[in-house]
Amino acid sequence: MPKSSFYDEEFYPSPVRQTWNEFQRNHIALAGLWCLGFFVLLVLLGPWFLPFGPLAQNTEAILLPPAWDANGDVSHLFGTDGIGRDLLARVVHGCQITFGASFFLVLLAMLVGCSIGAYAGMSRGLRASIINHLLDAIMAIPTLLLAIIIVAILGTGLMNSMWAITLALIPQFIHHTRDMVGREYRKEYVTAARLDGASDARIFFHSILPNMIEMLVVQATMALSVAILDISALGFLNLGAQSPSPELGAMLSDALETAYVAPWSISLPGAAIFLMVLSINLVGDGLRTALKNRVNQ
Q: What is the pLDDT of residues 46-67, one digit of tens each?
A: 888 888 888 888 888 888 888 8
In a domain, 6, yes or no: no
Give percent of the chain with pLDDT exceeding 90: 21
pLDDT for the residue numbered 296: 61
pLDDT for the residue numbered 28: 92
Look up the domain containing 162 and give its range: 18-296
In a domain, 5, yes or no: no
pLDDT for the residue numbered 108: 93
Q: How far apart are the first and last CA of the chain?
A: 34
pLDDT for the residue numbered 225: 92
In a domain, 237, yes or no: yes
Cβ–Cβ < 8 Å for 162, 108: no
In a domain, 12, yes or no: no
In a domain, 99, yes or no: yes
Q: What is the pLDDT of residues 109-119, one digit of tens each?
A: 999 988 888 88
pLDDT for the residue numbered 106: 94
Q: Looking at the 3D structure of the chain, how many domains does it have?
A: 1
Model confidence at 182: pLDDT above 70: yes
What is the rounded average pLDDT of the residues 274-295?
Answer: 87
Model confidence at 292: pLDDT above 90: no
In whole numbers, what is the pLDDT of the chain averaged over residues? 84
What is the rounded average pLDDT of the residues 7-24?
Answer: 73
Cβ–Cβ < 8 Å for 239, 148: yes
Out of 71-80, 126-135, 197-206, 214-223, pick the least confident: 126-135
In a domain, 242, yes or no: yes
In a domain, 11, yes or no: no
Using CA atoms of 259, 265, 269, 271 in order, give the dihedral in degrees to the nearest 10.
80
In a domain, 9, yes or no: no
Q: What is the pLDDT of residues 216-275, one digit of tens each?
A: 888 898 899 999 999 999 999 888 888 788 889 999 988 888 888 888 889 999 999 999
Model confidence at 184: pLDDT above 80: yes
CATH code, domain with 273? 1.10.3720.10
